[in-house]
Structure 1
Amino acid sequence: MEKIGVCVIGAGRAGMIHARNFARGVPNAKLVAVVDPYEEAAQKAVKELEIETYYLKYEDALQDKNVDAVVVVSPTVYHRDIVVAAAQAGKHILCEKPMAMTVEECDEMNKAVEENKVKLQIGFMRRFDKSFMYAKERIDAGDIGDVVLVKSLTHGPSIPQRWQYDIAKSNGPLAEVNSHDIDTVRWYTGSEFKEVYAIAGNYRCPEARAEFPDFYDNVAMVISFDNGMQGFIDGAVSVRYGYDSRVEIIGTKGVLFVGRLRENEVVVCSQDSGIVTPFMETWRTLFIDAYRKEDEEFIESIVEDKTPRVTGIDGKMAVKVVNAGNQSIREKRPVQL
């Protein structure tokens, strides 16, 4: 069969992970183009990826007959427009998280996808990670009895980009960092969020305080679910010490721990430094295999005409929780969904 032509829209860190996967040989797919509004970034990308075609505007890429599918890795504020236009152009779509800024935008995206009969997969790559998948299998098998509480945390080491300081453009760390945690606890509980209460503050990013007083770099959210289960999400950016992604699932008969902080299992003992083990520096290392599996299954959903593992409904529900969490932070009260 003829390979699916893929265009990656956004040549930043996450975009290049997807682009490298498709350039290096995802079955039944080939990378045919990249899009980035900054020509220097676009030129650098095509040189590394050893392809010829780049565009500065996504609209031009959508007119390219060699493009059958797109991977959307732009800032969240542009997701709705790109996904709707891609669907109308008949292109299948893998959209990175967060899906959009509002539930209404998600509804527009899902409607466009349905009307134009194209696939839409949302980039919650933890659902494709072996450890996270195995934990879900053990939960469903009843290894820890009934789930009582799911606690999920993500701490990122890097300083946010300037646009991320503006909550109106990024929806804050709850969206940019904790969308994965929101999807994970929803996945592991098998239930929708009923009520959230979130508190937040800016402790590590003083450069943002004057111009962006609403920005927070640390957030804690307590959750109740429709099925009676409980949840807790802990999010932080600019922590410096490393990339930290872990989950604890407490049941009526036991507990499951998922994730790790160590880069590997090497432990160095010396008189000068004591006991030292390397920490995980970036999500790009921790989830590299999950990203590839995610890209492979996106193409499988097109070739085999099946529903993607992570759908626009999953993306919408995460956005709904992000908006409720930010409302809770602003109004200093619990918010029902």
Structure 2
Amino acid sequence: MNKMINVCLIGCGRAGMIHARNYNGNLRHARLIAICDPDEGNLAEVQKELQMEYQYTDYREALKNANIDAIVVVTPTHLHRDIVVAAAKAGKHIFCEKPMAGTEEECNDMIDACREYNVKLQLGFMRRFDENFKTGKEVIENKTVGEVTLLKSLTHGPSEPKEWMFDISKSGGPVAEVNSHDLDTLRWYAGAEVSMIHVIGHNFRSPEKAAEYPDYYDTCAVMMQFTNGIIGMIDGAQYVRYGYDARAEILGTHGIVKVGRQNSNNVEVVTQDKTIQAQSMPSWTKLYQEAYVREAEAFIDAIRHDTGTQVTGHDGKMALILVREGLKSLREKRPVFIE
């Protein structure tokens, strides 16, 4: 397929606008022609910047547009299933941000619909497109450090939690909010599924919320066993204040690989009092700026060349299952074994 792929963004919030700006000029073979958001005020503000040919407040109307080839779904999670199934029936290719859906059954509906109507489905795990994390995968495949024995990954977020995040029945806490990317990364690195997960957590930074939200935790540690014997470890935290932090380690039989960086640039200032100063990464939006572009390029290439997507519906479903089973482990204070 040599034609330009016309894209509609559904959901024009902060994350949605990252995709909007990439599709609106950063991709050779795709262009953003439509935006959709149920908030008319928000839609009008976004239109001032993007100047789109088509605007919609109802995604069902957008899906009737024959000029749209693909959609990018960046809406609240509870809407994903209905939008994706409707888009598949309309013959639109789909990029869907994580979390994929609210339940495993909804994930299956989305996967089945895309298979039935022969459209592409790609999930939004952008770390797989980051050059540092990709190099880590290449090292594993090349056995540069021997056979993998232990995988570690961490994500620490700087932002103060919004009120709804303290209710883990709604937010899931760090396991869902920040560590879903780590869960996907370690599955990708291990090349296997998780057979056991054990999560512990505690509220260290917001003790004033403990009475109202006794289950809330802002810090967690995750231990996993993969079906091929590899051990996985994740640590996650919210409201760390010092900056955004996402790194990984790959321990092999013959060496170790350290993936990612905490510094926002390569500048260090050394002063006469023998201290070293550097700037920390302020946000995930800066750290993964290029990865988001490559993620979009991969989605468009899958459409143009009729190939499989690099992050599949199965990957999205497995991340959801691991979050669910991890929260079960946290609540029940025990390891959970996964069939």
Indicate how the Cα distance of structure 1 residues 132 and 80 shifts in structure 2: closer, same or farther if over 3 A, else same: same
Q: Spell out, residue by residue over 1:106-125, the C-alpha distance to the aligned partner (whole angstroms, 9 max, x if none).
A: 11110111111110001111
| Cα shift readout 1:2-38 (whole Å, capped 9, x = no counterpart) | 3211111121222111100010141221101122222
Residue type of the alignment partner of 1:70? I
CA offset at residue 217 of structure 1?
Answer: 1.8
Residue 257 of structure 1 deviates from its aligned partner by 0.2
1:281 matched residue in structure 2? 282
Correspondence for 1:100: 101
Decide whether the 8 Å contact of 1:156 with 1:244 is kept in 2.
Answer: yes
Structure 1 residue 317: Cα displacement: 1.0
Query: What residue number does 1:203 align with?
Result: 204
Shift of 1:101: 2.0
Range with greater deviation from structure 2 (49-58 or 218-227): 49-58
Deviation at 1:82, TM superposition (A): 1.7
Counterpart secondary structure, 1:191: coil
Q: Which residue does the alignment assign to 2:303? A: 302
Q: Is the 8 A contact 1:179 1:322 kept in 2?
A: yes
Could you tell me how far 1:70 is from its partner in structure 2? 0.9
Q: Specify the alignment match of 2:71 in structure 1.
A: 70
Alignment identity in percent? Answer: 54
TM-score normalised to the size of structure 2? 0.94
Q: Deviations over 1:281-320 (max 9, x none)?
A: 0111111111000001101111111100110011111111
Deviations along 1:111-141, whole A, 9 cap, x unmatched?
1111111100011111111111111111111
Relative to the length of structure 1, the TM-score reads: 0.95
Aligned runs of 1:158-169 on 2, under 5 Å?
158-169=159-170
* Shift in alpha-carbon separation, 1:136–1:295, aligned structure 2, 3 A: same
Q: How much does 1:54 deviate?
A: 2.5
Q: Aligned residue for 1:55? A: 56
| C-alpha contact 2:26 2:293 (8 A) present in aligned 1 | no
CA contact (8 A) 1:201 1:215 kept: yes
Correspondence list, 1:243-258, <5 A: 243-258=244-259
Q: Is the 8 A contact 1:5 1:67 kept in 2?
A: yes
Deviation (angstroms), 1:264: 0.7
Q: 168-177 or 292-301: which moved more?
A: 168-177
C-alpha RMSD over aligned residues: 1.8
3-state SS of the aligned residue for 1:42? helix
2:25 matches 1:33: no
SS of alignment partner, residue 74 of structure 1:
coil
Amino acid at match of 1:83: V
Gap runs ≥5 in structure 2: none
| Residue 163 of structure 1, CA deviation | 3.8
Q: How many residues align?
A: 337
Equivalent residue letter for 1:266: V
Say if 1:86 and 1:208 are closer, same or farther in 2 by CA, change over 3 A. farther
- Secondary structure of 2:329's aligned partner: helix
* Residue deviations 1:135-165 (CA, integer Å, cap 9, x gap): 1111111111110110100011112344434
What letter is aligned with 2:277? Answer: V
- How far 1:249 sits from its partner (Å)? 0.8
- Aligned residue for 1:213? 214
Q: Measure the CA separation in 1 of the matches of 2:36 and 2:207.
A: 33
Q: Using the TM superposition, give the Cα deviation of residue 276 of structure 1 relative to its aligned residue in structure 2, in angstroms.
A: 1.2
* Structure 2 CA distance for partners of 1:215 and 1:58, relative to 1, 3 Å: farther
Q: Name the residue aligned to 1:79.
A: 80
| Aligned CA distance change for structure 1 residues 114 and 204 (closer, same or farther; 3 Å) | same
| Structure-2 change in CA distance of 1:271 and 1:250 (3 Å) | same
Partner of 1:292: 293
Q: Distance in 2 between matches of 1:151 and 1:178?
A: 12
